[in-house]
Amino acid sequence: MQSITIIVFLPLLAAIVAGLGNRMIGNVAAKTVTTGALFVSAALSWPIFLGFLDGSEAERVVPVLKWVQSGDMSFDWALRVDALTAVMLVVINSVSALVHLYSWGYMEEDDSQPRFFAYLSLFTFAMLMLVTADNLVQMFFGWEGVGLASYLLIGFYFRKPSAGAAAIKAFVVNRVGDLGFMLGIFGTFLVFNTTSIPEILDAAPAMSGSTIGFLGFRFYTMDILCILLFIGAMGKSAQLGLHTWLPDAMEGPTPVSALIHAATMVTAGVFMLCRLSPMFETAPTALAIVTVVGAATCFFAATIGTTQCDIKRVIAYSTCSQLGYMFFAAGVGAYGVAMFHLFTHAFFKALLFLGAGSVIHAMHHEQDMRYYGGLRKAIPVTFWAMMAGTLAITGVGVLYVFGFAGFYSKDAILEAAWARGTGTAHFAFWAGAIAALLTSFYSWRLMFLTFWGKPRWAESEHIQHAVHHGEHTSDHAHPAPHENAAQKGPHDVPATEEQDGTAGYHPHESPLSMLVPLGVLTIGAVFAGYVFKYPFIDGSSEMVDPNGFWGNSIYFNENLIHALHAVPLWVKLTATAAMLIGLGGAILAYVLKPGIPAAFVARFSALHDFVYRKWYFDELYDAIFVKPAFWFGRQFWKIGDIGGIDRFGPNGIAWAVQRGSIATKSIQSGYLYTYALVMLLGLVAAMTYVLL
């Protein structure tokens, strides 16, 4: 059996065993089966990836079974293996295996562990189906599979109303994007008469410049198809407009955040765009839209991250911002650079999410950073892991010497945008540069509020509950602290900051099962950029054969890569300068003069509220879509259903039968003359009908 078949279907088998066995097989067996399966898949994925690096692996398609034959449309279920797939296999399986192991400690006290681990493995299988798809229908199967699994994982604590609402929100918003994706698939089949990805990409250049009728007008065919496909990517990858589900998805357990919202599901849109990159290269308008939307998302999410107090929400908006970088990298034609940032981001963002989970675990599931402080000595391993993740995401490094993971991938994105030279590309460059400054600021803000200063957890309701009751609860035991964060006093700095009030509570380091994944991800956050920069960016290295690392898996613009390396020095230093400015601002506001944030909020309250309320997107959508939808629903329910269908349907028929029964009952007197009269009237009526 091909190793790729084992890699893909082993997580599904584990999910079935854990899900159906559930409490019958017990927690330990369910965790062992699912975690073991993922480590096997991860172990088998790395040789494939390294094989493409050294040229020993070749692109191939492994058939699984005959799937659909309907008229002119036919396609098989097959697994495509190339360099792009190899990158995603390593990312998905490595992060998922570490998340499974991490969850042994994090979910230790939960009474539904088999269900949780089954959901994790099911999600992994769906994601693997997506990235190994050889045709668009198979990709859509995986696309919808990860949507279903994310719904189950986000709403894992289904007894918690906010978790159920967040799961529904994620599901509905993604359905909006998926409508565009479906229309794009339908249109692609209409134009190319096939769903085979290789056949579509081979035929795409010939369709450049052709037009198609749409809504009564003529449009460029490839632009329409690619824009529809990109709408699907916007929903899955939380781009501006369809981003509102991502921060609310933090209601799921923290390992879910690391798996879904750091390294895998949210990158599905980026992967799809890179997979279909030869198709997008024939659609310049669509690429311009991708660039602008990605750059706008990058800036927009970074601004919100500077004001959030929930540690997981800060990292969630950071994810949204980093996805924006990936999209505008693809929009300017640097698909390899976009995948490079996807690769490095998987390590440092999963590290940050799992590190945040370790902090939350230590702080009795308090998520509000304003009630942290001074934790670097209490949980040193977590501190150094998150320090590595912060150095990676902010892009710390020395040009031509060494840098952390984000230093190479983020800088390459900005250089590619400048090298592209178009108006939209330059807009993306400046938006990305400002976002880099904001990223540095909110990342170091998180570190300073969490690990520096004096302990500030004396007024935390969660900590007080733990101290008074001597209990250790899980994520779903209390409402999320951000739900009423606006009423807790001045933003960023609580009134008790100067108090050394530990409230009798002592933070504790996480168990080994949680710390080992942090250590492994730290290695990736430190070295992934330095080791893999040439294969990903240049498509070649000393390890790679002359055909290049990417081969035919993506569109590789060699001229853009040469121009990327030739940009002026100030362009190369822009991201570093932005990082230093953001770091300096965070040190000033949260270390040297901690009164600055409260003073800023008081002075610019309207601006702060605008950003803190996420640019009022939720309120806007609530007014435009949610409330009208509920109003129409009530009208259809009360007027159409109750007043119409029920009144004249079952209720009306029941009323008529009841009245008829009463009338009939009145003639059932038991007297002979009454029945004779009825018979006579019936006879007269029948004769009258016959005669007339």
pLDDT at 204 over 50: yes
Q: Which of 239-243, 251-255, 315-319, 645-649 comes out lowest in average pLDDT?
A: 645-649
Say how many residues make up the chain.
692
Q: Which of 105-109, 351-355, 395-399, 418-422 comes out lowest in average pLDDT?
A: 105-109
Q: Which residue has the tokens 């990409």?
A: 201
Average pLDDT over residues 111-138: 93
Segment 43-62, tens digit of pLDDT: 999 999 999 988 888 899 99
pLDDT at 1 over 60: no
pLDDT of 489: 43
Shortest CA distance to 450 belongs to which of 501, 346, 393, 379? Answer: 379
Average pLDDT over residues 371-400: 92
Average pLDDT over residues 462-491: 49
pLDDT of 24: 85
Going from the C-alpha of 285 to that of each of 223, 256, 290, 291, 549, the distances in angstroms are 6, 36, 9, 10, 29
pLDDT at 532 over 50: yes
Average pLDDT, the chain: 87
Confidence band for 547, pLDDT divided at 50, 70 and 90:
low
Going from the C-alpha of 430 to that of each of 187, 287, 330, 417, 435, the distances in angstroms are 35, 18, 16, 9, 8
pLDDT at 546 over 90: no
| DSSP assignments along 69-123, one per residue | EETTEEEEEEEEESHHHHHHHHHHHHHHHHHHHHHHHHTTT-TTHHHHHHHHHHH
How many CA atoms lie less than 13 Å away from 87 in the CB half-sphere? 31
Confidence band for 471, pLDDT divided at 50, 70 and 90:
low
Tokens of 138: 């198979």
pLDDT at 497 over 50: no
pLDDT at 235 over 70: yes
Query: What's the rounded Cα separation, in Å, for the pair 401 and 418?
Result: 22
Confidence band for 74, pLDDT divided at 50, 70 and 90:
confident
Confidence band for 26, pLDDT divided at 50, 70 and 90:
confident
pLDDT at 616 over 60: yes
pLDDT of 260: 80
Q: Which residue has the tokens 């898949």?
A: 41
pLDDT at 482 over 50: no
Q: What is the 3 state secondary structure string of 590-637?
A: HHHCCCHHHHHHHHCHHHHHHHHCHHHHHHHHHHHHHHHHHHHHHHHH
For the entire predicted model, the pTM comes to 0.89
What type of residue is 190?
L
Segment 90-122, tens digit of pLDDT: 999 999 999 999 999 888 888 888 999 999 999
Tokens of 20: 């159906």
What type of residue is 100?
H
pLDDT at 484 over 70: no
Average pLDDT over residues 255-280: 88
pLDDT at 405 over 90: yes
pLDDT of 571: 95
Average pLDDT over residues 369-383: 91
Tokens of 35: 């975690």
Share of the chain above pLDDT 70, in %: 91
pLDDT of 487: 41
Confidence band for 496, pLDDT divided at 50, 70 and 90:
very low
Sign of the Cα torsion 79, 85, 272, 154 reads: positive
pLDDT of 456: 84
Helix (H, G, I), strand (E, B) or coil at 479: coil
pLDDT, greater one: 650 or 181: 181
